[in-house]
Amino acid sequence: MKEIGKRLGKKDWDFNVDPCTGQRNWTSSVQNAVTCNCLFANATICHVVSIVLKSQNLSGTLPSELERLPYLQEIDLTRNYLNGTIPPQWGSINLVNISILGNRVTGPIPKELGNITTLKSLVVEFNQLSGELPQQLGSLPQLERLLLTSNYFTGNLPATFATLTTLKHIRLGDNQFSGTLPDFIQKWINLERLVMQGSGFSGPIPSGISLLKNLTDLYLTGNRFNGPLPNWIDRPDYTDLSYNNLTIEKPEQLTCQQGSVNLFASSLKGNNDLGMIPCLGNINCPKRKLISKGNINYDDDSQEAGPARFRRTGSNWVFSNTGHFFDSGRVDYYTWSNTTKLDMNNGELYMDARVSALSLTYYAFCMGNGSYTISLHFAEIMFTDDQTYSSLGRRIFDIYVQRKLVLKDFNIAKEAGGVGKAVIKNFTATVNSSTLEIRLQWAGKGTTAIPFGSVHGPLISAISVHPDFTPQEEHKDGVPKHYVVGIVVIGVHVLREEGDLMDLVDERLGNDFKREEVEVMINVALLCTQVSPMHRPTMASVVCMLEGKTDVEEMVLDTSEVLDGKKLEMQQYYNMREKNKSRATPEESISMGETSAFMSDTDLYSINMDSSSLTKVNR
């Protein structure tokens, strides 16, 4: 153990006590533990069976001396700063779990690992490994997890992998593989998750994938897959085929979201033409805006997303989200709210942000042709600026405008000069077909589990688009083209807590309303949207509060805990709704995405300030 500690750079092991006692920092937490089995020879002999040293910034190398621990079953060195290569000597140990996720390990995977017949999990993600995968890995009869994301692996998948019938979860994304996806995937009968975003594969999607009855997550985004769209593609719970070269053969496939399948920019036409992506062809050009800052009108972007989701948000924007936060240990989140007020100009624009595990694409439509300046607003609000573990995170992603890479390896906190500070990146782009595409893409760089698991990928607070020309006053559809369009993530409950509820009032009313009555109406509406039904008022109470016969009940909101019990319950509820709606028709999906509490001159209800009631307008 002394040699192992020296190799790893583990300096706080105390060899004055027996490691199997768990004393003196041998076992201080689940992330820092040496575990022994002391049942050998009638409980007189102990052997080390597990070494877990996670998130400790160890800066040494992987120790070949592990072979001296013949009973070792687990070595977990996740999220450290280790370098060097994987020792081939590890192939002589009866290991069950190997994890070196998030280090600086280089070189190929040694073929000797194929000798570990007991191995169930091999995790080498987010390193600098290279070369072809050894065919000997196909000889692992119990392998359930093979996670290879974000390395430099090349070549094809070895034919011997056909025998890996126990596989449940495989990730191959962000590598440099070549060739087609092999047909033998259909033999992985226990497979539940197949993730290979940006892996380098091309050719048709194997039809045999339809035989995988246990498959729940299929992520093939950002590859070069071609051929027809399979008719079985909606069988998994979540499927993402965005950014491929598939052929659309049926009219019903001309959609960005087909049930639980994200088809955004999945076809040849959508990828080669900077005009309308096929599935956006019937989008109208409404007029509603949410808030204004200066002469910029921002649309609300507070809707929940999903791991493979295309949604329309606001009036001039749609967005496509791809990726799943697999290892977060919590309900998936696709927006994030800061817990303290940001001390900066227009701080409310940065209090909330949309996040994505893999890629986030915004698509602005109904634009006048010409040159535009695109302003992307960022502020890192998930890390901290102190001396804690949460301050060690690094978020890195790429930015594309009109399908062109305009900024690689963008780090928000580094560019802004710290956490919680705003940075605006400006780009110029030409619109030729009334449409503008902005894509933020995670390429597997940066930390992935600080301050908790699966914190990575794009994060953005707001977008504004300014014409570099004098637009016409009005489009033929009635859309004022002189508007500068924007989109922002904003929370109504945060506005209430900060006393800014009047920001929600339609600007067209001017001062022609009674502030007290409007505040009552908004507060009653918020009471009716509480997570727990027991906390919502009865209809009779609502009527009495609106008529002024009783005071509005007090509602206590707490934004100090980002994911407290109530918000977790709310997220679980909406995630369940998303899953139940996942097989809705495309028209239903887009219709749900357009629903808003803020309407334009086609409002469902007319406003009569002399009346105590709202009169429904016939449509």
| pLDDT value of residue 69 | 95
Contact 264, 312 (CB under 8 A): no
In angstroms, how far is the first alpha carbon of the chain from the final one?
77
Q: What angle do CA 359, 374, 441 make, to 5 degrees?
A: 15
| pLDDT value of residue 322 | 73
Q: Where do the CATH 2.60.120.260 domains begin and end in the chain? A: 283-490
Q: Where are the alpha helices (DSSP H) in 316-456?
A: 412-416
- Cα distance between residue 606 and residue 618, in whole Å: 10
Mean pLDDT of 107-111: 98
Task: Using alpha carbons, select from 305, 299, 272 the residue that is nearest to residue 285.
Answer: 299
- The CA-atom distances, in angstroms, between 103 and each of 57, 119, 174, 507 are 9, 21, 16, 53
**Looking at the predicted structure, is the pLDDT value of residue 566 above 50?**
no
| pLDDT value of residue 543 | 77
- Cα distance between residue 366 and residue 368, in whole Å: 7
* Residues near 580 by beta carbon (within 8 Å), at least 6 away in sequence: none
**Looking at the predicted structure, is the pLDDT value of residue 561 above 50?**
no
Contact 485, 364 (CB under 8 A): yes
Is the bond leading into 204 cis (omega within 30 degrees of zero)? no
List pLDDT tens digits, range 320-379: 777 666 565 555 567 888 877 777 777 777 888 888 887 888 888 777 888 999 999 999
| pLDDT value of residue 357 | 82
Q: Where are the alpha helices (DSSP H) in 463-614?
A: 492-497, 515-527, 539-546, 565-581, 586-594
Q: pLDDT band for position 604 (50/70/90)?
A: very low
Task: Tokens for 428, please give them.
Answer: 């110029």
- Cα distance between residue 211 and residue 467, in whole Å: 51
- Cα distance between residue 298 and residue 496, in whole Å: 19
**Least confident among 66-75, 113-122, 438-447, 589-598:** 589-598
Predicted TM-score (pTM) of the model is 0.61
Mean pLDDT of 515-531: 73
- Cα distance between residue 485 and residue 479, in whole Å: 12
**Looking at the predicted structure, is the pLDDT value of residue 427 above 90?**
yes
**Looking at the predicted structure, is the pLDDT value of residue 133 above 50?**
yes
**Looking at the predicted structure, is the pLDDT value of residue 437 above 80?**
yes
Quickly count: other Cβ atoms within 10 Å of residue 298's Cβ. 23
Contact 174, 149 (CB under 8 A): yes
| Secondary structure letter of residue 606 according to DSSP | E
Task: Tokens for 348, please give them.
Answer: 């409310």
- Cα distance between residue 416 and residue 380, in whole Å: 9
Mean pLDDT of 144-156: 93
Instruction: Return the SS3 of 584.
Output: coil
Q: Where do the CATH 3.80.10.10 domains begin and end in the chain? A: 2-178
* Bridge partners for 193 per DSSP: 169, 217
| pLDDT value of residue 570 | 44
Contact 48, 24 (CB under 8 A): no
Instruction: Return the SS3 of 115.
Output: helix
Contact 114, 140 (CB under 8 A): yes
Quickly count: other Cβ atoms within 10 Å of residue 321's Cβ. 27
What's 535-574 look like in SS3? HCCCHHHHHHHHCCCCCCCCCCCCCCCCCCHHHHHHHHHH
Q: What angle do CA 77, 83, 86 make, to 5 degrees?
A: 70
- Cα distance between residue 90 and residue 98, in whole Å: 10
Contact 214, 193 (CB under 8 A): no
Q: CB-side exposure of 240: number of CA atoms within 13 Å?
A: 28
| φ and ψ of 261, to 5 deg | -105, 125
Task: Using alpha carbons, select from 197, 268, 198 the residue that is nearest to residue 229.
Answer: 268
Task: Tokens for 497, please give them.
Answer: 């807590």
Q: What angle do CA 262, 264, 270 make, to 5 degrees?
A: 150
Task: Tokens for 464, please give them.
Answer: 């504004």
| φ and ψ of 524, to 5 deg | -65, -40
Q: pLDDT band for position 137 (50/70/90)?
A: very high
| φ and ψ of 489, to 5 deg | -90, 125
**Looking at the predicted structure, is the pLDDT value of residue 407 above 80?**
yes
Q: pLDDT band for position 46 (50/70/90)?
A: very high
Task: Tokens for 360, please give them.
Answer: 């986030």
Q: Which DSSP string do the residues of 264-282 spell out, in sequence order?
A: TT-BHHHHH-SS--GGGTT
- Cα distance between residue 608 and residue 406, in whole Å: 50
Instruction: Return the SS3 of 446.
Output: strand
Mean pLDDT of the chain: 75
- Cα distance between residue 324 and residue 454, in whole Å: 9
Contact 218, 185 (CB under 8 A): no
Task: Using alpha carbons, select from 230, 185, 182 the residue that is nearest to residue 202.
Answer: 182
**Least confident among 173-182, 202-211, 241-250, 466-475:** 466-475
Task: Tokens for 58, please give them.
Answer: 């160890």
| φ and ψ of 585, to 5 deg | -70, 160
Contact 294, 483 (CB under 8 A): no
Mean pLDDT of 59-86: 94
Task: Tokens for 144, please give them.
Answer: 């359930």
**Least confident among 80-94, 159-173, 364-378, 471-485:** 471-485
Q: Letter for the amino acid at 481?
A: K
pLDDT above 70 as % of the chain: 67
Q: pLDDT band for position 288 (50/70/90)?
A: very low
Topology of domain 283-490 in CATH is Jelly Rolls (2.60.120)
Task: Using alpha carbons, select from 8, 31, 6 the residue that is nearest to residue 81.
Answer: 8
CATH homologous superfamily of 2-178: Ribonuclease Inhibitor (3.80.10.10)
